[in-house]
Amino acid sequence: MRATVVTPAGFDPAPVPDSHREVALLRLVAAGDRRAFEDLYSGYFGRLNRFLGRLTRRTEIIEETINDTFWVVWQKAGDFRGQSLVSTWIIGIAYRCALKALRRNAGASSAASFEPEEIGYEPGVAREREDWLGQGLKHLPLEQRSTLELAYYVGHSCEEIAQIMECSVGTVKARMFHARVKLRNLLPELAGPPKVEQQ
């Protein structure tokens, strides 16, 4: 039997940051330009909110982490040497700030915060999708969840994720491997639409 070959051409591209503009903004930030700083903040707020929302659902922790991240960006912008993408650098800072914030708020975040009653979304299809996806993802360790989010939402390569998470490429591959194996069992919805129950 020949399998159907599927190519990724049919998917929406991952959000690609305008790296030249971001490097220019970061240089202005390094010179103390508040307007450039605000531009950079605005451009990243949604992306970081989305990424951090996979680690905790508590809005106050997410906003605090985003502000901690940009506090570091404000102070360290002059140290950026262009050895990675600006997005990789900023999301790496956010990841480390998130780990610290989650440790500070241990017990009130992470997996427990994925309980449906805390999500507070609009009811409907999105809520249902969020429920089964969130329920599946909450069983993954934070590192595996982050790896999936960075690969599938943010669209980072394996090497970029290794930079962000400060680990080896092999570790990223291993985390992705284990996340996939667990989700195969946890998310039957992924295999197809639910079967119609017989009356």
Q: How far is the CB of 88 from another protein (least distance, A)?
A: 12
- 173 forms part of the interface with another protein (CB under 8 A): yes
Span near another protein by CB under 8 A; candidates 18-26, 87-95, 154-162? 154-162
- 7 forms part of the interface with another protein (CB under 8 A): yes
d(CA 7, CA 25): 36
Which residues between 15 and 54 bind another protein (CB under 8 A)?
28, 31-35, 38, 41-42, 45-46, 49-50, 53
- 67 forms part of the interface with another protein (CB under 8 A): yes
- 135 forms part of the interface with another protein (CB under 8 A): no
Q: How far is the CB of 164 from another protein (least distance, A)?
A: 13
Which residues between 84 and 123 bind another protein (CB under 8 A)?
100, 104, 119-122
Residue with Cβ nearer another protein (2 or 195):
2
Residue with Cβ nearer another protein (22 or 65):
65
Token pair belonging to 34:
């508040």
- 14 forms part of the interface with another protein (CB under 8 A): yes
- 80 forms part of the interface with another protein (CB under 8 A): no
For the chain, the three-class secondary structure string (H helix, E strand, C coil) is CCCCCCCHHHCCCCCCCCHHHHHHHHHHHHCCCHHHHHHHHHHHHHHHHHHHCCCCCCHHHHHHHHHHHHHHHHHHHHHCCCCCCHHHHHHHHHHHHHHHHHHHCCCCCHHHHHCHHHHCCCCCHHHHHHHHHHHHHCCCCHHHHHHHHHHHHHCCCHHHHHHHHCCCHHHHHHHHHHHHHHHHHHCHHHHCCCCCCCC
Token pair belonging to 148:
């999936």
Specify whether the backbone of 11 is left (phi greater than 0), alpha (psi in -120 to 50) or beta.
Answer: beta
Token pair belonging to 157:
């390569």
Q: How far is the CB of 78 from another protein (least distance, A)?
A: 9
**Residues contributing to the site for another protein (CB under 8 A):** 1-8, 11-14, 28, 31-35, 38, 41-42, 45-46, 49-50, 53, 57, 59, 62-63, 66-68, 70-71, 74, 100, 104, 119-122, 126-127, 129-130, 133-134, 148-149, 151-153, 155-158, 160, 173, 176-177, 180, 183-184, 187, 190-191
